[in-house]
A and B are shown apart, each in its own frame.
Chain A
Amino acid sequence: MTPFEVKDCALLARMSGLPPAINLRELRDRIAVCGENVLFHHFCETTLRGTFDNPDYRNDFAVWSKLYLGDRVLAERLGILDPYEFPSLGELRAATLEVIDERLGESTTIPWARPGDEIYFMEATTVVFDTGIRISHPGEFAAAIGSMTGGSVYYHFLEARRRSPFGRDDFTAWLLENDEGGKNRPYIEALARIDFYFHTLHHLRKELIKVLSALEDTK
């Protein structure tokens, strides 16, 4: 069995090259043409930024709609979009545009932000480090996750879904690869039940430890 290699990661952000948006129409136009990395950054990499308990929404577009456009209806509709539910970023883009178009259709004026409150479009390079930590048995996961950084949890449980095999976290991929006789099924099923997108990394780590520890306790 090849041991699971624990990695850590950090982001280096850069401007996307798109001009900032100051109103909902401009937000729509930028989302329609931006690169997929930009979409991924504002929907998924937000988790790696400093976050706090009970943030309102997990994507930048919903937060901007609430704080700077003052449109709570739009913020709620954008805020519920779970990027990991879509088979591709292209489909996430289409769903986001649909929400915005619906709102533009309902509005008598185009919601706008004050100068200085524009939204900027960015993307990031992910830099991945080898922590030197190895896990060789599924029973070790809970303890190992307990001492992982937020970057490790993000890289293995969230960012992994963007890599091949698409949509699968690294823990599950490793458990499937090493699933002799179906003995890893309980771990795989427990991980699949986690409603991960709306957690902060802090809470996601707690949830991972909880479900994996529960399996050990039942042994």
Chain B
Amino acid sequence: MNVPLGAYEGIVGPAVLRGLRQLGEKLAGTRVVHVNSTREGGGVAEILEWMTPIMRELGLNASWEVINGTPRFFEITKAIHNGLQGAHVDIPVKGWKTYEDVNARNFKRLRPILEAADIVFIHDPQPAHLLRLCTRRKGKWIWRAHIDISRPFRPVWKVLRSLVEPFDASIFSMPQFAQPLPHPQFLVPPSIDPLSEKNRDLPAAELEAVQTQYGLDPSRPLLVQISRFDRFKDPVGVVAAYRMVRKVAPVQLVLAGGGATDDPEGKAVLEDVLEAAGNDPDVHVLLLPPDSHKTVNALQRMATIILQKSTREGFGLTVTEGMWKGKPVIGGDVGGIRLQVVNHHTGFLVNTPEGAAHRIRFLLHHQEGIDRMGTTAREFVRENFLLTRHIREYLTLMLVTLHSDRGNLVEV
């Protein structure tokens, strides 16, 4: 996807784009290299897919490099990833050796571009070892942690920490996700692309097609939770909340997500959800393939209320997506949901199925509240969680990192 920056002017206004262009002028010609471990699939690749061309459009000499790995390498990095998120994983010395060897092979290929770069962004743990190998680097290296490492499994973090400490700076999505490190730690929350398949406006015909496909009744309220079938997303709790509301209001529920087929835990959760749903024709449990962006978009747009009743959550981009579609969100009082859902303004924070049911019933009786909160939610996302804010923060931190003498005020 290569959407020119100008396409966002109607959404964020000319002042925002003018600010980005001013920042771009200050950084014109800066050689920026992003390195991650996959070209397709996953949130990091999605970000780099739009960020690299926009940086180029703004005058930076930006490129995106992907390290190649063996299946064993990706098994090891998956274990590292899980370890950083707190799972007790066993990574043998041989496993770390594989990690280092694959990084070394990739370094041979990437050496010229990494040595010449003014700024290198290393995304997540997979390519983090490259810094140690690049002894002739002349630029600044920044480690971007996209995951929550607030409570890592210590043996894994101990090794990774030794790799990321020498970086010039790191970036975390929220303060809660960070670990103490001996360099500046910037905070850059994620964002959504309002023109992507998952978020762009959809014509009525496309909404109707999804409505028909899943047998949804447009005359009755619709509750939607989009998320993986994962216990921390509490889908069974959502069904319980729905049951409490269903006694008094003719609501329908959609629980849609992916990730259950290759994940034994996900499969078990899906089975629990199906059992909780029983044969209720108004509960739609949809196992969607990973590329169902348009279907997700349509379901969020058809929703009366968006739910994200997580008991543990990272940032919660599905909340951002729902808010961008002008819907109030009833979300779990955890993680990044707290940054987005503000009681009575953009939705409600809840702790139990009972709490969720209570707020759903309240909103169903107050259509004007649904409209008002939905409008506020969309504006809140426009101000804070669109990709233009995300790129502005990357450009600013590049300026700050390249010119560390600029202090706390940077004039562009």
Contacts and interface: CB of A to CB of B under 8 A. Distances in A.
Interface in B358-412: 376, 380, 383-384, 389, 392-393, 396-397, 399-400, 406-412
B6 interface: no
B175 A12 contact: no
Interface stretch (A78-86, A87-95, A126-134): A126-134
B33 interface: no
Nearest to A163: B409
A10 B408 contact: no
B397 A12 contact: yes
Interface string A51-85: 01100000000000000000000000000000000
Nearest to B172: A15
Given A52-B342, A128-B411, A129-B18, A14 B185 contact: yes
B153 to A, nearest CB: 17
A128 B410 contact: yes
A129 B396 contact: no
B89 interface: no
Contacts of A19: 180
B396 A131 contact: no
B187 interface: yes
Contact of B15 (A50, A118, A149): A149
Contacts of A124: 408
B29 interface: no
A122 interface: yes
Interface string B142-168: 000000000000000000000000000
Contacts of A127: 23, 392, 396, 399, 410, 412
A120 B15 contact: no
B238 interface: no
A149 B264 CA distance: 50
Contact of B408 (A126, A129, A132, A149): A126
A116 interface: yes
A61 to B, nearest CB: 15
A13 interface: yes
Nearest to B392: A10
A53 B409 CA distance: 28
Interface residues of B, number: 36
Contacts of B396: 10, 12, 125, 127
A8 interface: yes
A12 B391 CA distance: 11
A213 interface: no
A122 B410 CA distance: 18
A17 interface: yes
A170 interface: no
A23 B76 CA distance: 39
A13 B172 CA distance: 10
B212 interface: no
A41 B176 CA distance: 17
Nearest to A119: B175
Interface in A28-45: 37
Contact of A129 (B376, B399, B412): B412
A123 interface: yes
Contacts of A53: 345
B19 interface: yes
B412 A17 contact: no
B408 A131 contact: no
Interface of A: 8, 10, 12-15, 17, 19-20, 37, 50, 52-53, 116, 118, 120, 122-132, 149
6 contacts: A12-B400, A13-B187, A15-B172, A15-B178, A53-B345, A125-B396
Given A12-B188, A50-B384, 20 more contacts: A8-B15, A10-B389, A10-B396, A12-B186, A12-B400, A14-B185, A15-B172, A15-B187, A19-B180, A37-B408, A50-B380, A52-B342, A122-B175, A123-B408, A127-B399, A129-B22, A129-B23, A130-B22, A131-B18, A132-B18
6 A-B pairs with the lowest CB-CB distances in the bound complex, closest first: A120-B175, A15-B185, A129-B19, A13-B187, A52-B345, A12-B396
